[in-house]
């Protein structure tokens, strides 16, 4: 059985990916410092899959501890690297912390991989590397022009992996996620609303009565209804793209492959709120506010390369995405805290 080391495996996308890996017959080793996540999802992953996994509470900046994990576990076939700080606004306020954690942390991980002859990696990147797109939909060939420290760290990590792949003959797959939403259909794991950052967790919290209203960040964009349009992708679809990436390693000898992971369909903030109202039957109050600094009008993926090359396609439509988010939020209004 192939053994996969997942950094950040206790987080939102990481935890869903671990479920898909275990369901697909992989052995899973998680490295997570729990700085932005909980231990609870570990128990739930085990309960959902009926499989065991190995968990190490380690920060990837701690080279000795990381080395010890690689030594103890032995025979790691590939790494999936999620562990990173991810809040755009915070990255503007604390650039050094972001560069240190994301870049130095990743370099430490890559060095430990090199020391242990582990040469396959799937890297968690983001559409944020494209910055303000010149053409929509975005293909993987669009220019890389991140506009904030968080996005810069993703772009830099991509470059480090491309150079490493070429020189040391690593197999690297970079997945650029569009806007991940939703939760596992069981409602047992999801995005912890204790750390909300993005639109849907805010809408969910209003629906469940934890917040009074959703602020629409600007309704004067050049979009059909004036609000921002994004390509929302279900987290389980996203998780499955990682399993497909591991399968791809067996059939390619290219050093670095890059894929956009989205649906190719965009929805506005107003459409998201309206669909959430329909699904939940709750009144969701909105207030229109000013644009959020750094936001763009429209971001939509061309994911045809992932469709053909990874044999991956998104299965959840918008309604199913929001139903799963609502199922999780209404079951656990305070997320993993109960
Ligand atoms: C954000 C990050 C991006 C990251 C992505 C996925 C920023 C600027 N970008 O993208 O780097 O890869 O999340 O985690 O933070 N909105 C509201 N009200 C809210 C929240 C959001 O109107 O309370 C709007 C935004 O203006 C945007 C849309 O909803 O039009 C989606 O926002 P969000 O979920 O924060 O994602 P992005 O900004 O697209």
Could you list the pLDDT tens digit for every one of the 338 residues in the chain? Answer: 799 999 999 999 999 999 999 999 999 999 999 998 889 999 999 999 999 999 999 999 999 999 999 999 999 999 999 999 999 989 999 999 999 999 999 999 999 999 999 999 999 999 999 999 999 999 999 999 999 999 999 999 999 999 999 999 999 999 999 999 999 999 999 998 766 679 999 999 899 898 999 999 999 999 999 999 999 999 999 999 999 999 999 997 788 999 999 999 999 999 999 999 999 999 999 999 999 988 999 999 999 999 999 999 999 999 999 999 999 999 998 899 87
**Nearest CA, atom 15, ligand 1:** 88
d(CA 118, CA 125): 20
> Of 212, 219, 228, 333, nearest to 283 (Cα)?
212
Q: Tell me the three-class secondary structure of 13-41, residue by residue.
A: HHHHHHHHHHHCCCEEEEEECCCCCCCHH
Residue 123 and residue 172 in contact, taking contact as beta carbons nearer than 8 Å: yes
Residue 129 and residue 158 in contact, taking contact as beta carbons nearer than 8 Å: yes
Give the distance (Å) from ligand 1 centre to CA of residue 154.
17
Give the distance (Å) from ligand 1 centre to CA of residue 198.
5
Phi, psi for residue 335 in degrees, rounded to 5: 65, -135
Q: State the CB neighbour count (10 A cutoff) for residue 150.
A: 24
Instruction: Kindly report whether the peptide bond that precedes residue 137 is cis, defined as omega within 30 degrees of 0.
Output: yes
What does each C-alpha distance from 150 to 121, 123, 141 come to in angstroms?
20, 15, 21
Helix, strand, or coil here: 330?
A: helix
Helix, strand, or coil here: 166?
A: helix
Annotated catalytic residues are 150
Pairing of strands 171-177, 54-57: unpaired
Nearest atom in ligand 1 to 295's CA = 8
Phi, psi for residue 149 in degrees, rounded to 5: -55, -40
Residue 150 and residue 311 in contact, taking contact as beta carbons nearer than 8 Å: no
Give the distance (Å) from ligand 1 centre to CA of residue 199.
6
* Pocket-forming residues, ligand 1, beta carbon under 6 Å: 88, 126, 128, 151, 179, 198-199, 202, 214-217, 228, 230, 269, 292, 294-295
**Nearest CA, atom 5, ligand 1:** 179
Pairing of strands 267-268, 229-230: antiparallel
Residue 21 CB partners (closer than 8 Å, separation 6+): 4, 6, 28, 242, 243, 246
The b-or-e profile of 167-198 (16+ CB within 10 A means b, else e) is eeebbbbbbbbbbbbbbbeebbbbbbbeebeb
Give the distance (Å) from ligand 1 centre to CA of residue 179.
8
**Nearest CA, atom 35, ligand 1:** 198
| pTM of this prediction exceeds 0.95 | yes
**Nearest CA, atom 31, ligand 1:** 199
Residue 233 and residue 181 in contact, taking contact as beta carbons nearer than 8 Å: yes
Helix, strand, or coil here: 216?
A: strand
């Amino acid at each position: 059985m192939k053994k996969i080391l997942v950094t950040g495996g206790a987080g939102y996308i990481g935890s869903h990916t671990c479920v898909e890996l275990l369901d697909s017959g992989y052995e899973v080793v998680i490295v997570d410092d729990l700085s932005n996540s909980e231990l609870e999802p570990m128990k739930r992953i085990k309960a959902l899959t009926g499989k065991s996994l190995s968990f190490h509470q380690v920060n990837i900046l701690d080279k000795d501890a990381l080395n010890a994990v690689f030594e103890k576990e032995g025979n790691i076939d590939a790494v999936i690297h999620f562990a990173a700080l991810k809040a755009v606004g915070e990255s503007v306020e604390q650039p050094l912390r972001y560069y240190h954690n994301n870049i130095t942390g990743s370099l430490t991980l890559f060095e430990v991989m090199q020391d242990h002859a582990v040469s396959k990696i799937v890297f968690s990147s983001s559409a944020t590397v494209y910055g303000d797109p010149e053409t929509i939909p975005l293909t993987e060939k669009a220019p890389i022009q991140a506009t904030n420290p968080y996005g810069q760290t993703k772009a830099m990590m991509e470059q480090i992996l491309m150079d490493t792949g070429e020189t040391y003959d690593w197999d690297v797959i970079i997945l650029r996620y569009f806007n991940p939403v939703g939760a596992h259909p069981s409602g047992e794991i999801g995005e912890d609303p204790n750390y909300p950052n993005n639109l849907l967790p805010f809408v969910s919290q209003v629906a469940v009565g934890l917040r009074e209203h959703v602020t629409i960040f600007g309704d004067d964009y050049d979009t059909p209804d004036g609000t921002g349009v994004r390509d929302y992708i279900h987290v389980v679809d996203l998780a499955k793209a990682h399993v497909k990436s591991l399968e791809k390693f067996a059939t390619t000898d290219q050093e670095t492959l890059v894929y956009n992971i989205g649906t190719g369909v965009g929805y506005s903030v107003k459409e998201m709120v309206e669909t959430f109202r329909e699904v939940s039957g709750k009144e969701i109050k909105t207030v229109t506010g000013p644009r959020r600094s750094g936001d763009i009008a429209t971001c939509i993926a061309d994911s045809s390369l992932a469709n053909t090359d990874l044999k991956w396609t998104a299965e959840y439509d918008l309604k199913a995405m929001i139903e799963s988010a609502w199922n999780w939020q209404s079951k656990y209004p305070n997320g993993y805290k109960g």
